[in-house]
Amino acid sequence: MISCGKKISMHELSVTQEIVKTVEQAVDNAGRGLRVKSIRIILGRLTGVIPEYIRFYYEMLTEDKPGLAGAEVNIEIQPIVMRCGACGNEYESPDGVNECPECGDAKGNLISGRELLIDSIEVEEIGVSEQ
């Protein structure tokens, strides 16, 4: 038996696979001869996804995809925002704390923080003549 304590982050890997698939389809639909320059992703804090892993896996998964490789992956973290059920106040919630700063009520409703969104994809044209 070989003991191995290396943690593999399946979460980020599968998320990045999904991102690559989505970007690939979007670029395919946009036309031929396009290359992805940059991708803007909005990532909710509550997803627990680590941006560095997304960048790492993106590079790994797009190695053999000329239209996608080398793109800049920009990740914007969306804070956790709650709306107080008692007074309606909207407030940003640091991890694990959800008491309303106005009235102290703890039954806030989540407004944002759980999203994972491909906001935009910047493409550039490459020569199609070589095909």
Q: Which residues bind Zn ion (CB under 5 A)?
A: 84, 86-87, 89, 100, 102-103, 105
Looking at the Cβ atoms of 59 and 90, the one nearer to Zn ion is 90
Rounded CA-CA distance 63/20 in Å is 11
In the complex, least distance from residue 101 CB atom to Zn ion, rounded to whole angstroms: 8
In the complex, least distance from residue 9 CB atom to Zn ion, rounded to whole angstroms: 36
How many other C-beta atoms are found inside a 10 Å radius of the C-beta of residue 103? 12
Residues 6 or more apart from 119 whose CB is under 8 A from it? 40, 41, 42, 76
Burial class (CB in 10 A: 0-12, 13-18, 19+), 39: buried
Looking at the Cβ atoms of 52 and 102, the one nearer to Zn ion is 102
In the complex, least distance from residue 80 CB atom to Zn ion, rounded to whole angstroms: 16
In the complex, least distance from residue 109 CB atom to Zn ion, rounded to whole angstroms: 11
Looking at the Cβ atoms of 31 and 88, the one nearer to Zn ion is 88
Angle formed by the axes of helices 10-30 and 51-62, to 10°? 60
Rounded CA-CA distance 58/24 in Å is 12
Looking at the Cβ atoms of 54 and 84, the one nearer to Zn ion is 84
